[in-house]
Amino acid sequence: MRKFNKFIHLLIAFSVQVLCAQYNRADWKERDSWMHLEELFTYVDLSDGDVVADIGCHEGYLTFHLSKRVGDRGKVYAVDVRRDRLERLTESLTDKNIRNVETVLGDYDNPKLPRNTLDVIFLIDTYHEIDDYKEMLYHIKNALKPNGKLLVLEKLKTQHLGKSRLAQANGHTLSISYVEKELKDAGFKIESRNTSFGTWNHEPEKQMWVLTATVGPND
């Protein structure tokens, strides 16, 4: 029994390592080959001087790219619910003398972003983790400036096609149809959708999709 329990612990640890692989810095260069960041940035007209947020930043893969793109006149809010990730990110920012990034310890239903401040908010492979998405979207909407933009990127795994929202979310995946409806219900206006944005980590069974939405001037 003791050997069996040890095996289970090792199996769980390995599974977590595999699931989190593309968030480790050693894998960032490889991620550049399939993440298509320039195309993502084009979707939201990301420019020098913009104020943006990376919700679910982990250790900063997207954060560093955003920091470079918005420049010294811009600002990046790097949000995560785990303090240890933010501490590692802060160390990296200090080492690289990057000063246009502010880390934020958020909640699972509240990114704790300043009101009416953000030009763009990115949710990359994060939306499926949010249980109270209505509350989260309420806070996101309040954080965006008039005409501010939200970009959601998720991967839809082939084996979860046609399943319920709960089943998909439990499988760390989500269909664009669920999210599109939820954004509309929250008062967002869908600006663009792409259901074939390439494959996650070059794995054909994990199709990426992208939605962009805006907040109207009177919302």
Residue 35 burial (10 A CB sphere; 0-12, 13-18, 19+): buried
Strands (E), the chain: 51-55, 75-80, 101-105, 118-124, 144-157, 189-194, 206-214
Which residues make beta-bridge pairs with 199? 207
5 has pLDDT over 70:
no
Q: Per residue in 88-141, pLDDT tens?
A: 999 999 999 999 999 999 999 999 999 999 999 999 999 999 999 999 999 999
State which fold the 27-214 domain adopts: Rossmann fold (3.40.50)
14 has pLDDT over 50:
no
Strands (E), 56-117: 75-80, 101-105
| Nearest CA-CA partner of 147 in 113, 181, 99, 188 | 188
Going from N- to C-terminal start, the domains of the chain cover 27-214
Give how far the C-alpha of residue 107 lies from the chain's centroid of Cα atoms, to the nearest Å: 14
Q: Per residue in 51-82, pLDDT tens?
A: 999 999 999 999 999 999 999 999 999 999 99
